């Protein structure tokens, strides 16, 4: 599975959009981009995943660049409860387990 690079930390003002970048320059054609988040002392929570088209659900939007070498997770109106570590994971068709990096620690500030 391709490796991902994320900034170690980010701040966002409450009510504003949080844009979390992820670089996956070695991604191959059949690999999906997954996003999870982990709020302190809880298990990781699934957010969204995509292959090449942009995706949106009730939690977030996932924007994948045309060359698929990077993506952005967008939380449209961040709240204090969105403070968490966000993990970007690239997973292949036959990849079984998720390989988690250190993620991005997002702090939503009042």
Compute the distance between CA of residue 36 and CA of residue 86 in angstroms, rounded to an integer.
Answer: 6
Query: Where do contacts with another protein occur on this chain (CB under 8 A)?
Result: 32, 34, 36, 41-46, 49, 51, 85, 87, 93-94, 96-103
State the nearest-atom distance from the C-beta of 80 to another protein, in Å: 21
> Which residue lies nearer to another protein by CB, 33 or 78?
33
Of 32, 48, 13, 30, the residue nearest 91 (C-alpha): 32
Give the number of other CB atoms < 10 A from CB of residue 69: 13
State the nearest-atom distance from the C-beta of 63 to another protein, in Å: 19
> Which residue lies nearer to another protein by CB, 36 or 60?
36
| Dihedral over Cα of 72, 75, 79, 83: its sign | negative
State the nearest-atom distance from the C-beta of 29 to another protein, in Å: 13
């Amino acid at each position: 599975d391709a490796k991902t690079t994320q900034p170690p930390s980010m701040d966002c003002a409450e009510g504003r959009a949080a844009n979390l970048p992820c670089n996956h320059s070695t991604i191959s054609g059949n690999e999906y981009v997954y996003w999870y988040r982990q709020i302190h002392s809880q298990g990781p929570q699934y957010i969204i995943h995509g292959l090449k088209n942009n995706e949106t659900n009730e939690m977030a939007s996932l924007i994948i660049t045309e060359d698929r070498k990077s993506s952005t997770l967008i939380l449209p109106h961040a709240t204090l409860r969105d403070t968490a570590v966000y993990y970007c994971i690239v997973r292949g068709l036959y990849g079984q387990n998720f390989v988690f990096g250190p993620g991005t620690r997002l702090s939503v500030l009042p």
